[in-house]
Amino acid sequence: MSGGISDLDKNRTLEQLLQWQLRQVRGRIRELEIKEQQERRRREQAHAALRWKIQPQRSSSAALVHRGDCALYPAEGGFLTREEAMIALAEPDIEACQICKPETGLVDG
């Protein structure tokens, strides 16, 4: 063996460098996946805000129309179109949620 760094030592050092790079890339992938999930949730929430949903009537209260993103009735799916929500609000036994005020979105639409 001469006075320089051996091939074995060079390859062990290269291995450590590559492992470090792989950890860095995997960390970046995790960051990007989280960012992508957050963006998808944001788009879904924005889309839900443009839709409406009906909370079924309970024995002590009327059925309620909510904006799609209303937290008081967080049902998934079953969204109404603008026209369907307007028809529902015209019914005598269906009321608008007093918190999210779905009629505002209908008037502005």
Residue 2 — very low, low, confident or very high, per pLDDT cuts 50/70/90? low
The pLDDT assigned to 99 comes to: 92
With tokens 């889309």, the residue in question is 47
The pLDDT assigned to 44 comes to: 83
Residue of 71 and 32 predicted with greater confidence = 32
The per-residue b/e assignment along 43-72, b for 16 or more CB within 10 angstroms, e otherwise, is eeeeebeebbbbbeeeeeeeebbbbbbbee
**Selection from 70, 82, 89 nearest residue 109 by Cα:** 82
The pLDDT assigned to 108 comes to: 53
Average pLDDT over residues 30-51: 90
Residue 48 — very low, low, confident or very high, per pLDDT cuts 50/70/90? confident
What are the tens digits of pLDDT across the range 14-29?
999 999 999 999 999 9
The pLDDT assigned to 77 comes to: 74
Q: Is the pLDDT of residue 73 over 80?
A: yes
**DSSP codes of every residue in 30-43:** HHHHHHHHHHHHHH
C-alpha of 86 from chain center: 26
